Amino acid sequence: MDHPCYKCGHAVEDGKAFCSQCGAPQIRVAIAEPAPDLAASGEAVTALGGEVEAGFTGPASPVPVTWPHAPSQIASCALAAGVAALLMFVGLNPFVAAIVAGFLAVSFARRGSTSGLRAGAGAKLGALSGLLLFGASTILEMLAVVLLHKGAEIRTQMMEKLQQAAARYPGPEVKPFLEFVNSPDGFAIMLVASLIFGLVAFILLSSLGGALSAAFLGRHDPK
């Protein structure tokens, strides 16, 4: 059988791929029309059992995890570090002050919040407060050395503590160690090592205080 060419109307035998008159291809593929533009129609469609507003194309990337109260919690950590630094100034042991800073950071962060904090989140707040406490105490020590010229006094106090510790644990290696520390290079190395130890200790102890505070205060949260 023949059929007319869609372009020129010339009779073309069935099965022929092209028209002998105009050369137009006779094999045509039908393409389905696109769905109506949902954004233009302003209607909602149902997908996966829920309503999706028109024009919604889905998230381009995973939803970021945010911490909506981060500024207030950082302020709570700074306040806790300030209180702990003040307690250190009046004579509280620095390591005890670090634990207090972590405990207070969680306590301050919970004020005005209806949701409690888990031990892990409390430990993070405590770690931040410990870092801030260490920074504040280090800056104060540096100001005391520079402005008040207490460098010699601080060095004397550190050497006295080392000598007292050496007296408690006498040994053949103690005297060479004290001689090394008493030298300028040895004292500088000991000072850097003391700062690193203090930083790690403050962060760990404040984390412990924050975790304990979250666990203790969380027991009183309404169920």
Residues 120-175: pLDDT tens digits?
888 999 999 999 999 988 888 788 777 766 667 767 777 777 777 777 777 777 77
At 39, is the pLDDT very low, low, confident or very high (cuts 50, 70, 90)? very low
For the cut 50, the answer to whether the pLDDT of residue 43 exceeds it is: no
Sorted by where each begins, the domain ranges of the chain are 70-218
Residues in the chain, how many? 223
For residue 86, pLDDT beyond 70: yes
pTM of the entire structure?
0.56
Q: Would you say 129 and 77 are in contact if contact means Cβ atoms under 8 Å apart?
A: yes
How many whole angstroms separate alpha carbon 195 and alpha carbon 81?
A: 17
Residue 24 reports pLDDT greater than 70: yes
Instruction: Give the per-residue pLDDT at 210.
Output: 92
Residue 198 contacts by C-beta under 8 Å, 6 or more apart in sequence? 94, 134, 138
Kindly tell me if the per-residue pLDDT of 104 is higher than 80: yes
Mean pLDDT of the chain: 74
pLDDT at 113: 59
Give CA–CA dist 214/126, Å, rounded: 10
